[in-house]
Amino acid sequence: MVRSMTGYGKSECMLDDAPCTVEARSVNGRYLELSVKLPKEYSEHEGRIREVVREHVLRGSVNLYIRREDLAEITPLNVDVEAARHYVDALRTIQTELGVGGEVRIEHLTVFPSIFQRPLRSAERPDVWPSLKEAVVQALTAMNSMRDMEGKDLSRDLVTRCETIASALEIVEKRSLERIPAERERLRERVRQILDENAIDESRLSLEIVLLSEKLDITEECVRLRSHIKHFQQYMATEQQPGRKLNFLVQEMNREINTIGSKCNDADIAVTVVTMKEELERIREQIQNVE
């Protein structure tokens, strides 16, 4: 199945009695590129988080943001008045010794974090990993749901464009078969214009016509291109991670279309080949976002 590499998911939980938000964002990438940003007090779980992400995402550039509401906003701070008194005495001593004027104001004390302390937590701090893991999984699941929905749209578009190329290929094949007799007669006419008809070596002329027909024959290219289109559609339907294989097939399809265009010196075929190239280029752009 086709899954897009672009998606977004969000979940919420409670960690250490504080609200926490987990956001997962992904865009296209050649490999799995993972960035995790989380509060420093949970940094010990980063390795576990990365493993969880790898279980849910195979390819793409993924950014995982874990934000917890600042406990200072919901928990009153303890003020160490004795420490503040020592800081005031120290500042006044500096004023006296250095002859610095002015008064010691409250804003001077706010630069000393040891004055303001959060209440000590219980020694038996609960394990936050189960809740954190569940929130990460929920965010990734939501992100993958969006990736799957976009993947269905991508799949429909890719199938339609493959069908357009296949239809154009049928037109090219039909036109190619029709023009071989015309090319043969055109060659005969050109030779007659140069030489007297009696001087024409029919065996030699027949040989040249055969060689020319081989150069103009695009049967092998058409067979290979049709096979590539078939495998392209099969990979979209059956592969869990078809992106790399689809990209390779697009390169091979482009090679066959270019060869067809170079062999068929015909205006009608050239127009159809241009159409095939345009559709293939749109396919190439689309599969850059397929996982």
Consecutive H or E run containing 160: helix 129-194
* Burial class of 291 by CB neighbour count within 10 A (0 to 12, 13 to 18, 19+): buried
CA 1/CA 38 separation, integer angstroms:
32
Low-confidence winner among 45-54, 104-113, 227-236, 274-283 (lowest mean pLDDT): 104-113
Best CA proximity match to 164, nearest among 279, 68, 265: 279
| DSSP structure class, residue 241 | S
Count of beta carbons in the 10 Å neighbourhood of residue 11: 19
The identity of residue 62, as a single letter, is V
What is the percent of the chain where pLDDT is above 90?
A: 49
Do residues 273 and 166 lie in contact, with contact meaning Cβ atoms separated by under 8 Å?
A: no
What's the whole-model pTM score? 0.69
DSSP class of 69: -
Give the helix/strand (H/E) hosting 170: helix 129-194
With a cut of 80, say whether residue 194 has pLDDT above it. Answer: no
Start-to-end Cα distance in the chain: 10
Q: Is the pLDDT of residue 160 over 80?
A: yes
Q: Which pLDDT does position 209 carry in this prediction?
A: 60
Name the residue among 241, 31, 42, 41 with its Cα closest to residue 135: 42
Give the residue-averaged pLDDT of 61-90: 81
Is residue 253 within 8 A of residue 228, CB to CB? The reply is yes
Instruction: Name the least confident of 34-38, 157-161, 258-262.
Output: 258-262
- Mean pLDDT of the 222-248 span: 91
Q: What share of the chain is helix, strand, coil (3-state, %, to 5)?
A: 65, 15, 20
For residues 111 and 288, give the distance between their C-alpha atoms in angstroms, rounded to a whole number.
Answer: 51
Give me the half-sphere count of Cα atoms (radius 13 Å) on the Cβ side of residue 286: 25
Categorize the per-residue pLDDT at 116 as very low, low, confident or very high, splitting at 50, 70 and 90.
confident
- The band of 192, judged by pLDDT with boundaries at 50, 70 and 90, is low
SS (H, E, C) 171-195: HHHHHHHHHHHHHHHHHHHHHHHHC
Amino acid at 145: S
pLDDT of residue 182: 72
> What is residue 262's predicted lDDT score, i.e. its pLDDT?
85
Distances 197 to 185, 188, 189, 209 between C-alpha atoms, Å: 14, 10, 10, 17
Give residue 17's pLDDT: 80
CA distance 142 to 154: 19
Arithmetic mean of pLDDT over the chain: 85
Is the confidence at residue 73, as pLDDT, over 90?
A: no
| Backbone torsions φ then ψ of 118, nearest 5 degrees | -80, 150
Distance (Å, whole) CA 237 – CA 79: 64
Q: What is the pLDDT of residues 206-219, one digit of tens each?
A: 666 665 666 667 88
Residue tagged 């007669």 (tokens): 185
144 CB burial (10 A radius; 0-12, 13-18, 19+): buried
3-class DSSP assignment, residue 248: helix
